[in-house]
Structure 1
Amino acid sequence: EITAEYPAGVIGTTEENLLAAAEGEKMEWGTLYPDFGKTAEEEGFPNIANSFKNIAKVESQHEKRYRKLLENVKENKVFKRDKPMNWKCRNCGFIYEGIEPPQNCPACQHPQSYYELLAENY
């Protein structure tokens, strides 16, 4: 029998939400999944225990990402960098080079919030 519940939390400011998310991920990789793995191991499921150990590694990366996003929000660097970067509109794919993306995409007119740093990871 599996019994579990997970608290949903409260919606706060962006900074509060990112901090809560980071702390949640920390709890998951530091306590939750290791405990699940220990239980699986004790109950004779080594493959499942190994999966939980690997999921904990994923959750650790999630925590790092949320903390970096929080840092960017606090330092007003979500849509601004210290040097020119390539920014990609997630709606149409337009690439803009600059310290920050335009308020509206010159190609599709979507707002700045549609921009992300271009990741050439292919």
Structure 2
Amino acid sequence: MKLKGSKTEANLLAAFAGESQARNKYDYYASKARKDGFVQIASFFEETARNEKEHAKIWFKLLHDGIPSTDENLKDAAAGENYEWTDMYAEFAKTAKEEALPRLLFFSNM
């Protein structure tokens, strides 16, 4: 069976997303702890963020059969950023407006 389109692919995508989000969250927590003077707690969050990055890398490599070539990575990055700026954020702003959530209309300025 092929990975593409399988439930296992969906599981790997969810694992990659979860680990990536956790990494960012712990980086934010570390910054806040350091700003508040809790250096040791900040270090704990930074180490945890590094661990989450490595976990995400495992799932990423399984999804892509390794790390793609630089050429592929450039094309993927350009396509992803273009989609965000031309479609995704505009749709988010439209939804926020429809749902009367004006504080989220900043999406239209992204």
Taking structure 2 as the reference length, what is the TM-score of the superposition? Answer: 0.49
More strand by share: 1
Taking structure 1 as the reference length, what is the TM-score of the superposition? Answer: 0.44
Higher RCO (C-alpha under 8 Å, 6+ residues apart):
2
More helix by share: 2
Structure ID, larger Rg: 1
